[in-house]
Chain A
Amino acid sequence: MTLATAKKRSGKGEGRGAPPAGMLDHGAWFLVLPALLPILVLSVGPLLYGISLAFTDSQSGRTEPTEWIGLLNFQDLLHDTLFWDSFRIGLVWAVGVTVPQFLLALGLALLLNQNLRFRGLARSLAIIPWAMPEVVVGIMWRLVYNPDAGILNETIRDLGLGDGRDWLTGIGSALPAVIVVGIWAGMPQTTVALLAGLQNVPRELHEAAEMDGAGAWRRFRTVTWPALKPVALAITALNFIWNFNSFALVYVLTNGGPGGRTRLPMLFAYEEAFRYGQFGYAAAMGCVMVAVISVLLAVYLVGRLRGADER
């Protein structure tokens, strides 16, 4: 340590901001290691280990050593219609949550960016769902959806629209019902990110456009949206990933039911790994999920960016 600091001190005259590019001195390593070690051991390592598990027949509670089985897990997966059903549901869920979530959050962010009364209060209230445990969000909405004691069916009865239904156990209604909860739960993060993006909108341009008589929609299209676009792209891409990987909400709401109609891929993989003990097979599912999602996101992002160039 003394060596390191002495060395650093001697170099102080050149100014701190410019150490030789690409190099860390001993002192810096000392600062980095406490975080780097856990990251390597508990994040990067397990990720690589997890990928390698996909090529083995690893199972829980087995005494004989696990063996490499090459692509056998992936071959099995290819013919596993249950998994692809689940995967399809995952995509419907992820798109069904991400798109409305973005549009609703955009509306809210634009409103909160206006000079309205109670804006501060509204901002605080609007991000409350962010602070809630996902399990509680699930419980809360189960109470809302409850066929008898729930407020949703009661409102429907009050409005004379029939008797309502058992939303979370109905074959047709379960997935839309959990999608609504997904939208609700992710609104605050998306809104805050978009509000941050709105700070990038050049106000002078906005005012100039208004002077020239551009309407609200035109101002949004030509001034606000171009400045907001990078943030919008980033947050929708992130939301899509988060939603596709989501677990706790649906676990609490329906636990994948009825009849697998809301069994997201994460729930499927969780059951495969920790109920049936098929670690290798579940890891292969994880790999397929990452691969497909990466490709979809790449196509989405490249498409959006190219669309921007052409305009």
Chain B
Amino acid sequence: MTRTSRTSRTFRAGRANRPGRVTRPRRADRPRRASRTGGPARAGQYLALLAYLVFLAFPFLWLISTSFKPATELGSLHPTWIPKDPTLANYRQAFDEQPLLQAAGNSLVAALSAAVVAVVVATPMAYVMARHRTLLARAATGWVVVSQAFPFVLVIIPLFLVLKNLHLINSLPGLIMVYVVWALPFALWMLVGYVRAVPAELEEAAAVDGASRLRTLVSVTVPLLAPGIVATALFAFITAWNEFFFALVLLKTPEKQTLPVVLTHFLGAEGTADLGPLAAAAFLATLPSLVLFAIIQKRITGGMLAGAVKG
């Protein structure tokens, strides 16, 4: 078989050893029957797939290309895919023009704290939602769904007023509180799925041995959930790292602002954007998200698959 299916098979084998995983096999990963639609149809499919990938990839490649072009090349007509005279000057200039390091630091603090707090409070809640069929659990599930439909305006104005009264405007702690709540719906959605995959018998066995509920949760359930918790935390980190609207409203001074907000400062007035440094900074700001996303990608799609199958 092809390389692709081998990797997915090893991945599944690795997963099966971890009881915390959703164990339903993904049918699409199984080798399919020998194709009967060979020839032109197959070729057409590859062509279509290629077209999709080109459409999805070319803006990013163009961003990278632009980030290595000197100002003279960017100012002239007839740009090329490969820079004629590649340079790192844009990267240096980007750091000179805007406080990128400080902004990255702010983003890191905000995203890391939000991710950690979100999973710490979401895990016990998800546990109750998965194991108890109560009114509260149902209300929480309802909130997870409805919160997806919130128009941000309706939430941000009151949040702004509340945080202002608490003197948490223009402060990272205030932003972190918002990010925690903002990350909770998806975190709960993912974690409930992971908890359901942990056999309740294991917990019952621990309970029979006399472990308290908290004890059972901490020493039986959470270790089994660990991979899922890590994936959820990383996803929360990425969403907070990428977030723009709340940061734009809540952070006023440049030394407090996060990376996405600082990136918009490169844009300047209409049409006056300094393209090279803009591209360089944008590329750097994306790297952490891309790396983390690559790590958890299969788990996130797997979690969504599990949720959809159950739903």
Q: Which residues of A contact B (CB under 8 A)?
A: 1, 4-5, 8-9, 12, 15-17, 19, 21-24, 27-28, 30-32, 34-36, 38-39, 42-47, 49-51, 53, 58, 104, 107-108, 111-137, 139-144, 146, 148-151, 154, 157, 169, 184, 187, 192-193, 195-200, 203, 207, 210, 216, 231, 238, 241-242, 245, 247-248, 251-252, 255, 257, 266, 269-270, 273-274, 279, 282-283, 285-287, 289-290, 293-294
Contact = CB atoms under 8 A, between A and B. Distances in A.
A174 to B, nearest CB: 12
10 contacts: A16-B203, A49-B162, A111-B49, A117-B2, A120-B3, A120-B7, A137-B59, A142-B267, A150-B79, A151-B81
A30 B124 CA distance: 9
Contacts of B46: 116-117
Contact of A247 (B152, B158, B159, B160): B152
A117 B4 contact: yes
Interface string B51-65: 011011111101100
Interface in B258-309: 259-260, 263-264, 266-267, 270-271, 273, 275, 278-279, 282, 285-286, 289-290, 292-294, 297, 301, 304-305, 307-309
Contacts of A279: 157, 161
A108 B49 CA distance: 7
A274 B248 CA distance: 10
Contacts of A43: 143, 147, 150, 155, 181, 184
A24 B301 contact: no
A122 B293 contact: no
Nearest to B55: A184
A113 B157 contact: no
Interface in B26-81: 26-28, 31-33, 35-37, 42, 45-46, 48-49, 52-53, 55-60, 62-63, 66, 69, 74-79, 81
A111 B115 CA distance: 34
Contact of A28 (B128, B245, B249): B128
B275 to A, nearest CB: 6
Contact of B153 (A1, A108, A111, A285): A285
Interface stretch (B91-99, B212-220, B223-231): B212-220
Contacts of B78: 154, 157
B14 interface: no
Contacts of A114: 32, 45
Given A42-B159, A196-B309, A231-B308, A283 B125 contact: no
Chain B interface size, as a band, is: 35 or more
A219 B22 CA distance: 30
B80 to A, nearest CB: 8
A178 to B, nearest CB: 14
A24 B132 contact: yes
B267 A252 contact: yes
Contacts of B136: 24, 32, 36
Given A133-B243, A247-B245, A286-B153, 11 more contacts: A16-B131, A31-B128, A35-B121, A116-B45, A118-B4, A135-B242, A148-B77, A199-B309, A247-B244, A286-B157, A293-B149
Contacts of A104: 52
B167 interface: no
Contacts of A28: 128, 132, 134
A16 B66 contact: no
B101 interface: no
B41 to A, nearest CB: 8
B200 interface: yes
B305 A195 contact: yes
A19 to B, nearest CB: 6
Given A134-B242, A149-B74, A199-B305, A5 B214 contact: yes
B148 interface: yes
B49 to A, nearest CB: 5
Contact of A196 (B75, B207, B214, B304): B304
Contact of B282 (A23, A140, A197): A140
